[in-house]
Amino acid sequence: MASATKLPLLEFKAGRCFRTTGTDTVKPDPTKGLVYLEEEDGLMHFFWKNRTSGEIEDDLILFPGDAELVAVPQCTTGRVVMLQFKSSSQKLFYWLQEVSTARDQIILQHVNSLIHSQEDEEEEYLDEDAAMGDVEAAPASESVSAIAPSAAFAPAAPVSTSTTNPTSTASAGAAAAGGSSLTAQQMDQLRHLLGGLQVPQTAQRSNLRLDHILTPGAVAPLLNNPEICAALFPHLPESSERTPEEIQAIVRTPQFSQALVSLSTALESGQLGPLLRQFGLGPNAGNGVEGFLSAIQEQAKKDKK
- State in angstroms the smallest separation of the CB of 222 from another protein: 5
Residue 41 CB-density burial (10 A; 0-12 exposed, 13-18 middle, 19+ buried): exposed
Residue 8 CB-density burial (10 A; 0-12 exposed, 13-18 middle, 19+ buried): middle
* 304 part of the interface to another protein, by CB under 8 A: yes
The residue within the footprint of another protein, chosen from 218, 220, 242, 243 (CB under 8 A), is 218
Q: Where in 88-107 is the site for another protein (CB under 8 A)? A: none
Distance CA 44, CA 2 (A): 12
- Residue 184 has a CB neighbour count (10 Å cut-off) of 8
The residue within the footprint of another protein, chosen from 68, 165, 222, 248 (CB under 8 A), is 222
- State in angstroms the smallest separation of the CB of 106 from another protein: 18
* 305 part of the interface to another protein, by CB under 8 A: no
Distances (CA, A) of 112 to 12, 118, 135, 144, 192: 14, 10, 18, 26, 25
CA end-to-end span of the chain, whole Å?
68
User: Which one of the spans 34-42, 89-97, 111-119, 188-196 is the region binding another protein (CB under 8 A)?
Assistant: 188-196
- State in angstroms the smallest separation of the CB of 262 from another protein: 5
- State in angstroms the smallest separation of the CB of 119 from another protein: 39
* 220 part of the interface to another protein, by CB under 8 A: no
User: Which one of the spans 104-112, 118-126, 174-182, 226-234 is the region binding another protein (CB under 8 A)?
Assistant: 226-234
CA dihedral defined by 287, 292, 298, 303, rounded to 10 degrees? 130
* 60 part of the interface to another protein, by CB under 8 A: no
